[in-house]
Structures are given as C-alpha cells and as structure tokens.
Amino acid sequence: MLVVIVEPRISGRKADRVIKKLGFRRTHRVEARGLSGGIWLLWKEALLSIRILINHAQFIHMKVLSPDGSFIFTAVYGSPNEYARRFFWRNLEVLAPTITEPWMLAGDFNALLCSTERLPRGNSRSGGIRDFQSCVLNTGLLDLGFSGPKFTWHRGQLKQRLDRMLANPLWANQFPQAGVYHLPFFNSDHRPLLIKLEDRMKGITRKQRFQFQAVWSSHESYAGFVQQNWIDRDGWTDTLQTFTDKLQQWQHTIS
C-alpha cells in the first residue's frame, strides 16, 4: 500500500510526529511552503520498493516495484497558480518521450480538462483548460475515469474535478482491471482518491482496453478526422469497430 498526501499544511518536526502516529516507517516528502504545497509518500509493505527519480515542488517522480508489476508513478500537486502550472505541463511533456515503461500519474492537478468538470458552469478559465488539454494530448496520456461522485473538490456552491489519475497506454494495458474511486469528503475540501491495481479476474484473457478521451475532441484535426472516417456502410456495429480502430491509430499521430 502506498499513500500520497498533497498540501498537508505542515512540515518539519510536526510532520514527522504526524507520520509516526500514522504508523508509517517508510516515507519521502517534498516539504510544504508555509500552508501551501507539499507532497508526502507513505508506505508500509516490505514487498513494495520505491526509487525516487525526481523531486519537484509540483510532483515526485518515482519507480515502483510491487508484486503486481513495476511501473513509473508521478505523484502530483499542481500549483494553484496558472503560470506555475504551465511549467509543470512542460515538465511532463519533456518527461513523456523518455518513459518507455508503464506510467501513471495521480493527485491534485488543480486543473480541469473540460468545462463540464465544474459547477456552476460559468467563469472557468478557458486558457487553463486548453493548457491541460494540450499537455494530455502531447504526452499521449489517458484519463482513466472514476467510480463515485464526479466532483473531487468543493467550496461553498462551487464544485470541480481537480483530482484524477492519468496513465499511458502501457500502464492501462498492464492493469486492465484497475479502478479509481472517489471517496467521501473527510476533514478536507478534497475527496480522497483510492486506486486499486489488483486484478479480480486473474486467468481470464481480455482484449486491451480502449476508452474514448473527451480531450481528443479539442484537437484541431478531430472534426476533420470524424468527417472523413465515420462512414456508415456496414451497419452500426461494424462501423463503430472500424471507426474505433482508426481512432486509436489517429491518437498515436497527435501525441
């Protein structure tokens, strides 16, 4: 088991005492700056091995070795400052081509992928959404969705989906039964995210997963691609399968 806590609002000796009370002996952290920022990694399992690759104010990049398989994991705390987040997006775009293993990212991105991830709908910054969309497209990452309530953060009447999990296709296919769960609010304005890797259907052969990504529709070539490739000649089922195959090929050309 690996626990990630972002924006803990404490650091130094006070953080040491809290972690000790929680019973975690294996820890790594990027310290908070006053009441903002900070990322904690806490783990117990002797079978879980973690090698830190990069420390950054907005993320910890690491290699995880577990009985379920090895992969790259990036624990995320995206800055609430839009300009600072752009540096984070750029870091991900630089990292992505160097990663040839399964890769997952999870945490508080402090950003929306589309305007429907916010209630009420108005007043969301379209520039921030476009920046995040471009990053996801350029890195070829997939949003693995969730189970539970849609919005992970609230303040008064404002609700947003700021917390999520992304992964590259290698990770999604290595863990085809992985699930992301939005848990109830508890002493925080963010919902905890629970990510389960275990396969409950071991021994059953499955096709590689395919999920349509809403962010694809924001790409400048998407409308033309649909117009050119959605051809209803052989019935709904065959048309959908053919279009899906072409869509997967197209996705690789834009990332």
166-186 burial, b at 16+ Cβ within 10 Å, e below that, comes to bbbbbbbebbeebbbebeeee
User: How many other β-carbons are positioned within 10 Å of the β-carbon of residue 206?
Assistant: 10
Choose among 147, 119, 116, 146: nearest CA to 133. 116
User: How many other β-carbons are positioned within 10 Å of the β-carbon of residue 188?
Assistant: 10
Read off the amino acid at residue 8.
P
**Mean pLDDT of all residues belonging to the chain:** 83
* Residue 210: Cβ-neighbour burial (10 angstroms; 0-12, 13-18, 19+): middle
What is the percent of the chain where pLDDT is above 70? 75
Beta bridge partners, 195, equal 180
**Per-residue pLDDT tens over the stretch 70-110:** 999 999 999 999 999 999 999 999 999 999 999 999 999 99
218 pLDDT more than 70: no
At 101 the pLDDT is: 96
**Average pLDDT of the segment spanning 248-255:** 64
At 210 the pLDDT is: 52
Under CATH, domain 49-196 is a member of which superfamily?
Endonuclease/exonuclease/phosphatase (3.60.10.10)
Of residues 229 and 135, more confidently modeled: 135
Choose among 8, 118, 233: nearest CA to 241. 233
Of residues 73 and 37, more confidently modeled: 73
**Per-residue pLDDT tens over the stretch 171-210:** 999 998 899 999 999 889 999 999 998 745 444 434 445 5
At 53 the pLDDT is: 97
**Per-residue pLDDT tens over the stretch 109-150:** 999 998 889 998 766 666 689 999 999 989 999 998 899 999
Of residues 31 and 254, more confidently modeled: 31
Of residues 249 and 234, more confidently modeled: 249
The domain segmentation of the chain, as residue ranges, is 49-196, 219-254
At 181 the pLDDT is: 95
Provide the whole-model pTM: 0.78
At 191 the pLDDT is: 95
